[in-house]
Amino acid sequence: MKKRLIIALLLLVLLSTYKPQKLFLSTQLNIDEIQIENNFILKEADIKKELNFLYQTNLIFLKNSEIKNILKQIDFIESFEIKKIYTKKLKIKIYEKKPIAILQYKKNKFYISENINLINFIVLENYRNLPIVFGKKEDFKDLFLNLKKINFPLDLIKKYYFYETNRWDLEIYQKKIIKLPTKNYIESLEKFINFKKENNLDKYKVFDYRINNQLILK
């Protein structure tokens, strides 16, 4: 009887002090490797530097929100996938913002992504020849979406100039200029596409559509 009482008391002590977390707090589940995938612009070392605090964190209790808060602050990251690989590995797949142009506004310079988000400018060798936008992001967004809508050959454009009169000039190869009107510029762009198909552009330097229903060539 006395022996049973002692065993019962021991079990009571064990159950009252038992914590499930203790089962998983072994160093066998602590992160010792972070793998970064699908990054082409960002350097793996730079991403890992921001995530250094995760090393030796237990995978079981790691909250994805901790990682998300860090990654969202890194320029060029559009989205990401987080995968825990037991027992000690964390895999992060990065989806980067792709620069399509360089925005020059006053003294500030940014990259513009496909989704027309601004990215802080750093020198990137693979993006040195992007077209330059002189204007505001909001104005460029409308123009860019309309250019895509009519399948305008974007690779022709070297520079975008926005004027306070609410119109654009597009500089294409060999510094040729397409002067667009304030209104109905989409129609003018479509006319230019057709003109390009039927004519040799090398003869001209300026394609002026500012006057309604007219094309002035210079």
One domain, residues 139 and 74? no
Query: How many domains does one find in the chain?
Result: 2
124-164 pLDDT tens trace: 888 989 999 999 999 999 999 999 999 999 999 999 999 99
Q: Does residue 9 lie within any of the structural domains?
A: no
Mean pLDDT within 206-210: 95
Q: Are residues 139 and 196 in the same domain?
A: yes
Is 142 found in the same domain as 192? yes
Q: Which of residues 22 and 85 earns the better pLDDT score?
A: 85
On whether both 198 and 110 belong to a single domain, the answer is yes
Q: What are phi and psi of 9, to 5 degrees?
A: -65, -40
Q: Is residue 12 part of a domain?
A: no
Ranking 25-34, 113-122, 153-162 by mean pLDDT, the lowest is 25-34
Report yes or no: 191 and 197 within 8 Å, Cβ to Cβ: no
> Which one of 64, 79, 96 terminates a domain?
96
Task: Give domain status of residue 53, yes or no.
Answer: yes
Is 5 a domain residue?
A: no
> What pLDDT is recorded for position 20?
52
Residues 148 and 176 in one domain: yes
Tokens of 119: 């990215």
Instruction: Judge if 181 and 80 occupy the same domain.
Output: no
CATH code assigned at 151? 3.40.50.11690
Which has the closest alpha carbon to 117: 132, 134, 96, 131?
Answer: 96
3-state secondary structure of 149: helix
Q: How far is CA 123 from CA 75, 87, 133, 190, 191, in A?
A: 13, 39, 16, 34, 36
Output the domain CATH number for residue 29.
3.10.20.310
In whole angstroms, what is the distance from residue 97 CA to residue 112 CA? 9
The closest alpha carbon to 31, from 10, 3, 50, 53, belongs to 53
Given a cut of 90, is residue 56 above it in pLDDT?
A: no
Are 105 and 213 within one domain? yes
Same domain, 82 and 105: no
For residues 44 and 151, membership in a common domain is answered with: no
* Of the candidates 210, 216, 209, 207, the residue with the CA atom closest to the CA atom of residue 174: 207
Q: Which domain holds residue 63?
A: 24-96
Give the N- to C-terminal CA distance of the chain in Å, as an integer: 112
Is 15 domain-assigned?
no
What percentage of the chain has pLDDT greater than the value 70? Answer: 88
Which residue is listed with tokens 């409308």? 142
Return d(Cα 207, Cα 218) in angstroms, integer.
7
Regarding whether 137 and 203 lie in a shared domain, the answer is yes
Confidence of residue 5 (pLDDT cuts 50, 70, 90): low
Calculate mean pLDDT across residues 173-180: 95
